[in-house]
Amino acid sequence: MIAFILKRLAVAIPTLLVLIILSFILMKVAPGSPFSGEKAIPETVMKNILARYGLDKPQWQQLLEYIYNIIFRFDFGPSFVYRDRTVNDIIAQGFPVTVKYGFFAFIFATVIGVAMGIFAAIRHNSWGDYLAVGFTVGAQVVPNFVLAPILVLVFTLWLRWLPGGGWNDGQWNYVVLPVIALATSYVANIARIMRSSMLEVLHSNFIRTARAKGMPGWQVIVKHALKPAMLPVVSYLGPVFVGMITGSVVIDLFFSTGGIGQWFVNSALGRDYSTILGITILLGALTIAANLVVDILYAWIDPKIRY
């Protein structure tokens, strides 16, 4: 197990370095600079600005210092656009918001999805099953940027139950719509995966044996069928996590929740390169970490898996 974890880490760390170097190079080859305005800046001033941000050093030294600062001091440097803020400040402001509704959406998607999948599998070919399958197919083809305005239209404009945007320090009624908009398609996917793997497990011999020895139905499900049937869902949790991070861009833009996605798009449009770079690397690192955790979890549940 330890060897396995070390092996996975040996992949994760180079991946992270590739990500940092790749985004860094992209930033460097980007045309235009955040300091080039309509008015030409005197040469001495420009020199001072470049020195202030460490841009006068050779490229390789900038890259090494950048990596060093991230890894050992968790410092992403100053923002190029907001003169009084560092990238760390921006992340500290946006990230907790994203984490909060992302966490709820993740739990929501997993619990509801798994429950719905089990239900549909047990009642295979019943009306409940068809309803669940219909929902999973329907939710798959409605992307979150379509679902979000529809939710606002129904719950904010027509029913007037919930606020259609804003964050208000994470008061519960401001969190509900973002969570639903973010989680729905993953509820559907998890339910679909859970249903088909549960059906497969329920047809296997050891379940028949359990039934034959007179075990009550629900106990068969909980004690024997659940764990093997969960395997495909666990391996899907990595993509779910990634999707939630990506989806947060849509949620932040649409609901103005002020999360990291909003900062990403704003700084991208404002060419605030250091902020985009910082956010990309942070989210990339999270993605890599999530995949790592899922892999380890998977190996732990299923001892047969060894890469």
Q: C-beta of 42: minimal distance to other proteins in Å?
A: 28
* Residue 268 near other proteins by CB under 8 A: yes
Decide whether 110 or 185 has the Cβ nearer to other proteins: 185
Q: Do 277 and 134 contact (CB within 8 A), yes or no?
A: no
Q: Do 199 and 124 contact (CB within 8 A), yes or no?
A: yes
* Residue 287 near other proteins by CB under 8 A: yes
* Residue 18 near other proteins by CB under 8 A: yes
Q: Find the binding residues for other proteins in span 42-81 (CB under 8 A).
A: none
* Residue 265 near other proteins by CB under 8 A: yes
- Please count the other Cβ atoms lying within 10 Å of the Cβ belonging to residue 109: 25
Task: Return the residue of 96, 143, 170, 216 that touches other proteins, per CB under 8 A.
Answer: 143
Q: C-beta of 120: minimal distance to other proteins in Å?
A: 15
Task: Return the residue of 153, 161, 170, 305 that touches other proteins, per CB under 8 A.
Answer: 153
* Residue 141 near other proteins by CB under 8 A: yes
Which range, of 10-18, 47-55, 121-129, 297-305, touches other proteins by CB under 8 A? 10-18
Decide whether 110 or 136 has the Cβ nearer to other proteins: 136
* Residue 244 near other proteins by CB under 8 A: no
Question: Total number of residues binding other proteins (CB under 8 A)?
Answer: 44
Decide whether 48 or 202 has the Cβ nearer to other proteins: 202
Which range, of 47-55, 69-77, 82-90, 140-148, touches other proteins by CB under 8 A? 140-148
* Residue 23 near other proteins by CB under 8 A: yes
Residues in contact with other proteins by CB under 8 A are: 11-12, 14-15, 18-19, 22-23, 26-27, 29-31, 137, 140-143, 145-146, 148-150, 153, 157, 242, 245-246, 249-250, 253, 264-265, 268-269, 271, 276, 279-280, 283-284, 287-288, 291
